Amino acid sequence: MTILVTRPSPAGEKLVNRLRTMGRVAFHSPLIEFAPGNQLAMLPNLLSSLNQQDLVFVLSQHAVNYADRALRQSATRWPDNVSYYAIGRTTGLLFHRASSLPVVYPQDGETSEMLLNLPALQRIQGKKALILRGNGGRELLAETLSERGVEVTYCECYQRSPVYYDASEQSALWQRAGIDTLVVTSGEMLQQLYQLVPDYYRNSWLLRCNLVVVSERLATLARQLGWSAIRVAENADNDALIRALQLPD
């Protein structure tokens, strides 16, 4: 098994280093890079406008890191009179370390659907919600919260942008390296990888690779694009990805 990890830095590099320590052959080619978001400077004011028991949703580790850095630079604390929710365990633990505040997250996955199923989010009419995220992304969380009577505001804490590769050169390089297993952690990156690889390499190599993804939604997208050997990790953290890569064929 020769593994290509496409998740961004630093998580992607950490995963490759762990795999190599385990004796696996692994390479890192991040498909996305990050920069501060356009609305980050507004975060202190957005947080101060929330009332007692309003809701704050943190949708990724990058949102935690960029938001916490911005608050520290403005000498602002995370307010302790609102309720915090994270998309999953890894993001939740990182937020708790940064803020020392309690945070609720789904125990069994890292999707908007699982977050919305939490009992505490069923009767929330009349509250305000602030969603900390990157540029773009799924609208399911905001739409469902609005349907439940919540006034929703976004704060774009970071921006994702694609990393550019020479398509033919990079595809040939990956194939010569013997890559036969791909780790992809978002639909955006899966589409990007599919579109990056030219038709010839796509049919002769890319779609024949084993694919490890982090949700059934991603697996469905992968099947629609033409992959057949798909494995779904329990969630998106590196521990779960390593467990998925260790499963017998």
| Rounded CA separation 48/35 (Å) | 24
Q: Token digits for 57?
A: 């949703």
Q: Token digits for 153?
A: 């505001």
- Average pLDDT of the segment spanning 66-93: 94
Q: Is the pLDDT reported for residue 247 higher than 70? A: no
Same fold, 2-31+163-245 and 35-161: yes
Task: For the chain, give the mean pLDDT.
Answer: 93
**What is the second-level CATH architecture of the domain 2-31+163-245?**
3-Layer(aba) Sandwich (3.40)
> Which residue bears the tokens 């942008």?
161
pLDDT the model gives residue 112? 87
Q: What confidence category does residue 248 fall into, taking pLDDT thresholds of 50, 70 and 90?
A: low
Q: Token digits for 225?
A: 């694009």
CB count, 10 Å around CB of 21? 9
* pTM of the predicted structure, to 2 decimals: 0.76
The domains of the chain are located at 2-31+163-245, 35-161
Q: Is the pLDDT reported for residue 249 higher than 70? A: no
Closest CA to 2 of 176, 155, 236, 186: 176
Q: Of the spans 46-60, 101-115, 125-139, which averages the highest pLDDT?
A: 46-60
Is-contact 157 40, C-beta < 8 A?
yes
pLDDT the model gives residue 110? 74
- Average pLDDT of the segment spanning 102-127: 90
Q: What confidence category does residue 102 fall into, taking pLDDT thresholds of 50, 70 and 90?
A: very high
| Rounded CA separation 77/183 (Å) | 36
Q: Is the pLDDT reported for residue 118 higher than 70? A: yes
Q: Domain 35-161 adopts which CATH fold?
A: Rossmann fold (3.40.50)
Closest CA to 1 of 27, 19, 24: 24
Query: Model confidence over 183-193: pLDDT tens digits?
Result: 999 898 999 99
Q: Is the pLDDT reported for residue 117 higher than 80? A: yes
DSSP string, the chain: -EEEE-SPTTHHHHHHHHHHHTT-EEEE--SEEEEE-TTGGGHHHHHHTPPTT-EEEE--HHHHHHHHHHHHHTT-PPPSSSEEEESSHHHHHHHHHHH----B--SS--SHHHHHTSGGGSS-TT-EEEEEEESS---HHHHHHHHTT-EEEEEEEEEEEEPP--HHHHHHHHHHTT--EEE---HHHHHHHHHHS-HHHHHHTGGGSEEEESSHHHHHHHHHHT---EEE-SSSSHHHHHHHHHS--
- Average pLDDT of the segment spanning 111-137: 92
- Average pLDDT of the segment spanning 173-195: 95
Instruction: Express as a percent the part of the chain with pLDDT over 90.
Output: 83
